[in-house]
Structure 1
């Protein structure tokens, strides 16, 4: 062992083994059982004391000095390793240049566009004194209320009115992103912003924290975050982290075209997307990631489909409704030019787009003029309303449902009831173009009558089907009767008379044997009854035999076999 490194010889194995583990970790000590290590002789203690004299820890035992010495060596090794990592990171960080002089002005003006207020001094006068935090002007306001949205009479910007006496402390948060050119590509810098309005609301405090940097170099993506380095307590840039999320960050666009020129993202249209409105949020990492594999995002942005792009650039989104192999936007969306213009005019969200395509696939389904309001109103029940619109117009659907709505049957409950009634009517072969059929005056009564008629019809169809199957099963059951009938004097195995008796058996014992009639008719399985000889007509247990093996034997409500039945089945 030296002051720079050490090895330990372990005699626990058959052959001595040299290890690099620390002495304190080579013993099997636990919190409830600690193994003490001590020197075998005085000579060993003397050697250890002499060797570790540089520690200046005379009070420690020789073994503790050994452990301390090993720990110091490991700490120095770790420090050198950390220093190499930090030097590499620092070298990378030197590529990052200073922020432009107008960056903080842009933060206040654009990135924090949602943090605009007019503080007013409440009075009973018609015009009250106010102050706009955006244009930094004294204004006169009238007819305003605390926390109501309005417009500044001076700068014309959207603001929130605050009574100065009520809003003494306001803390707003925002996110910002800044692109910078580097030697091998560009770096994206992420800032978390806090703006605090106190009693002196005319001089709010703005604090920015740069928490993340992502270097884009061709196909490489190097991520760094400002955090506790290796749990050492030192706050600095750390490599390989990707924990901070910036899903809705305002993007500084003044230099974007210059930065992205000559990179794979030159035509990604992120500048146009970030400028769609003042302070618009962008999920930059996912935007660039999606663009790499889904370049049609560029066409969507340029076509003004911003809501779709907002959703496409989120980590939770999937691309089920888009043809990713489409050569143009019409092929990607799977629509005609006329349909595309309607999508473009409404700047549809993905949900609205899916709804629109469903409506296009339905016959005689008219698209509502106020399409967004329609989607918002029926968002949770869109399949329901679309099914009703297969038979009539939206206007008539809403009018009829409103007429049928009561306290006990609210609007959407009426829609569901009506949908079920219409399904029954189709099964019964009613004329669905007849208004008397479509719009029954007493919906609940019509629903119940139709449901009863469908039940009877299905029961009749089932009986007819079972009759045909029963004819096929008669010969099989006759053969089974000769083979499988047996008794021990107390219990008997009885072959069913027909398929109807199997169905009745299931009803009597409250289990699912009634569903086996088709398989019995096909010869796929054999159903047998176990009866008490004293009560030969009363259902007791049901047994299934397949491939000459007893598959199951159950009684009332799927109950297990009693000892008596088990012995009988084993004997059988």
Structure 2
């Protein structure tokens, strides 16, 4: 318990937040420092119990927390328990000179005479925490280092493969510009001198010696080129295999004949049956030490070239033996693979193997990306036809076009429409109408793609571009179908003046809808008559220059919404059903002119709105408050008493 002098200090001194009492005790032949920490505000309220009690040796400390109903043991430092931060400094003082002397004597091993007793305590805890952390890090690192020993050396031809295949996109012909027909050049891929003609800087072409696609660079202009690539290498381990990820940089400077290639291994994933252990090369626990760290997943390798020479041997006997990743990685030279997601998706979507073997590479590319979420595939299908839900003939068309997922979804939609022709150049069609695919498919229900494009092109003007015409025509056809027009008649289907035809049918449909709405409102109005008459006796009220008026009928509510430009016209059905009550606020001098509208539900005002959803003026607000107090509140109390 805190002493009287400590309580007296807390009442007199403002700058201190906590008071500290320290003494030592000999427990099991070990000298223990025992610290009691008191909160100033509690001391001022005559609460003498300590907030925390710290037990400490030179090697360890632990804190007893009395803030909860039952004492709790904590391992946090005193700074953290008192919520001291760099922007909020907590002041802690010793209760007496004896406590200060105990702290100075106990922490004499720190050899920091200039520090205050409390700072020595903070420093001592920090040193113990650092030793704790060091031991913890040593345990973590020993496990990581043990795992690292399972990784073997890279094959001798790995760097050659990096240059030849993984960096296949980094191929150039540097040429010396001259006005001669043939200029001297050098191919960085086949490492040979060549003669080139008719080339331009940064234009794509083909090397006359090796026949590979290259980018032509003028030697005088391209003095510094830095290319980046990614590579993946599979390696066998005792329990499975490890996938190693490399970041590659290839630098072409003035000496472009001898470019510099640097590789940095950043990530390793160990696959052991169903386990997946991830490690990354990074700053270990923000200590400044660069080393392998466990459990990280920050580096992304979405498009890495895959070393396939040993792939079949590595995957044999693993759950991924038949995943077909080798065939997918070899689809073209230096092809990118998102290996972690490929293996992950193969676990849930094994039909990826069938897709790769069928040459549906674009679908697999999308399926193995983290952003893919579409579910157009039947995962329970026994073969690829069942997975895709198509016939053999349809599958051959999909296979020939090597469709993307979007193209496949579009193709399935077209198959589901009657008499919908499939364009020969299907990819160009999908690219052209990608953003408006539902629009073009809807128009193709009425006629052929060729006629749709020809008609829309004829109607296109500066004010009405191509896709705007398509949307206008789509709306016109919807109206025409509703009016019962024969859309198979070319006179109806292809009006000469589309805008005038659209406006005409839109006007007719609007009149029909208006008529239907009025008929509907007549029926609702009959139901609402007795309710409105009842409301008129209960809710009508006048005070000063304003009055609350109950609507004559539902049509007047609709007119109110149109006049004041707010949405009360949509509430007519709820009024007829008795779900809500709509009332008008009028000036006594202009009882027929719309002013404000209020909605009442459960004898409470839900909203009060004027022109264009504007808020209440001071006059209206005072009136509404008075109405709620004098009319609605008594009704509410009466309803509660009855219930």
With the length of structure 1 as denominator, give the TM-score of the two structures.
0.89
Q: What does 1:547-566 align with in structure 2 at a 5 Å threshold?
A: 552-559=607-614
1:39-60, CA deviations, whole angstroms, 9 ceiling, x for partnerless residues? 8999988887787676666776
Question: Cα distance, 1:465 vs. partner?
Answer: 2.7
Residue by residue, what CA displacement relative to the aligned partner does 1:399-458 show, whole Å, maximum 9, x if unpaired?
Answer: 111112222222222222222222222222221111122222222222222222222222
**Local SS of the residue matching 2:61:** coil
**Do the aligned partners of residues 275 and 497 (structure 1) sit closer, same or farther apart at CA in structure 2, a change above 3 Å counting?**
same
Residue 552 to residue 16, structure 1, CA distance change in 2 (3 Å): closer
Determine the structure 2 residue equivalent to 1:170: 225
Partner residue of 1:206 out of 238, 261, 269: 261
Question: CA separation in 2, counterparts of 1:550 and 1:402?
Answer: 56
Aligned length: 572
1:72 is displaced (CA, Å) by 4.0
Q: Tell me, in whole angstroms, the C-alpha distance in 2 between the residues paired with 1:521 and 1:16.
A: 62
CA deviations over 1:448-506 (Å, ceiling 9, x no partner) = 22222222222222223333444444455556556666667965555444332332232
Evaluate the alpha carbon distance shift between residue 454 and residue 230 of structure 1 in structure 2; reply closer, same or farther with a 3 A threshold: same
Could you give the per-residue CA deviations for residues 74-117 of structure 1, whole angstroms, max 9, x where no partner exists? 43333232222211111111100110111011001100000011
Question: What SS does structure 1 have at the residue aligned with 2:168?
Answer: coil
User: How far has the Cα of 1:356 moved from its partner?
Assistant: 0.8
Q: CA deviation at 1:152?
A: 1.0
1:246 aligns with 2:308: no
Change (3 A) 1:161 1:526: same
Provide the rounded CA distance (Å) in 1 between the counterparts of 2:64 and 2:603: 68
String of CA shifts for 1:281-300, please: whole Å, max 9, x gaps: 00000111111111111111
Question: More deviation in 419-428 or 473-482?
Answer: 473-482
- What's the CA shift for 1:260? 0.4
Say whether residues 1:338 and 2:393 are aligned partners: yes
> Structure 1: which 5+ residue stretches go unaligned?
none
Q: 1:401 to 1:58 in 2, by over 3 A?
A: same
Q: Which aligned pairs between 1:241-390 and structure 2 lie closer than 5 A?
A: 241-390=296-445
CA-CA distance at 1:546 after TM superposition: 5.3
Aligned CA distance change for structure 1 residues 307 and 15 (closer, same or farther; 3 Å): closer
Which residues in structure 2 correspond to 1:413-452 (within 5 Å)? 413-452=468-507
User: C-alpha displacement at 1:522, in angstroms?
Assistant: 4.2
1:462 aligns with 2:522: no
Bigger shift: 119-128 or 201-210? 119-128
Counterpart-to-counterpart distance in 2, 1:120 and 1:365 = 53
Change (3 A) 1:497 1:218: same
User: Which is further off, 182-191 or 13-22?
Assistant: 13-22
Provide the residue aligned with 1:233 in structure 2.
288
Query: Could you tell me how far 1:8 is from its partner in structure 2?
Result: 8.0
In structure 2, distance between residues paired with 1:549 and 1:52 = 69
Query: How far apart are 1:344 and its partner, in Å?
Result: 0.9
Aligned to 1:408: 463
Which stretch of the first structure deviates more once superposed, 115-124 or 534-543? Answer: 534-543
After TM superposition, give the deviation of residue 125 of structure 1 in Å.
1.6
Q: 1:472 to 1:52 in 2, by over 3 A?
A: closer
Q: After alignment, is 48-57 or 192-201 more displaced?
A: 48-57
Q: Closer, same or farther in 2 for the Cα pair 1:8/1:299, shift >3 Å?
A: closer
1:225 and 1:549 map into 2 onto residues whose CA distance is: 61
Q: Distance in 1 between matches of 2:525 and 2:102?
A: 99
**Structure-2 change in CA distance of 1:337 and 1:502 (3 Å):** same
Give me the whole-angstrom Cα distance separating, in 1, the residues matched to 2:68 and 2:541. Answer: 69
Supply the RMSD in Å over aligned alpha carbons.
3.4
Q: Is the alpha carbon distance of 1:217 and 1:31 closer, same or farther for their aligned partners in structure 2, counting shifts above 3 Å?
A: closer
- Structure-2 change in CA distance of 1:360 and 1:85 (3 Å): same
How many angstroms apart in 2 are the aligned matches of 1:535 and 1:354? Answer: 61
Distance 1:191 1:2 in 2: 48
State which drifts further: 561-570 or 249-258.
561-570
1:255-291 Cα deviation digits (max 9, x unpaired):
1110000101011111111011110000000111111
Q: Distance in 2 between matches of 1:35 and 1:533?
A: 65
How many Å separate the matches in 2 of 1:22 and 1:366?
74
**CA 1:444–1:102: 2 relative to 1, 3 Å:** same
1:101 maps onto 2:156 in alignment: yes
Report which stretch shifted further, 429-438 or 183-192: 429-438
Q: In the TM superposition, what is the alpha-carbon distance from 1:158 to its structure 2 partner?
A: 0.9
| 1:91 matched residue in structure 2 | 146
3-state SS of 1:482 partner? helix
Deviation for aligned residue 1:249? 0.3
Deviates more, 1:116-125 or 1:243-252: 116-125
Inter-CA distance 430–204: structure 2 relative to 1 (3 Å threshold):
same
- Per the alignment, in what secondary structure is the counterpart of residue 573 of structure 2? helix
CA deviation digits over 1:322-363, x for unaligned, max 9? Answer: 222222222221212211111111111011111111111112
Distance in 2 of aligned mates of 1:248 and 1:269: 17
Distance 1:159 1:535 in 2: 83
Write out per-residue CA displacement over residues 202-244 of structure 1, whole angstroms, 9 at most, x where no aligned residue.
1111100001110000111111111112222221111111111
Unaligned runs of 5+ in 2: 1-55, 628-643
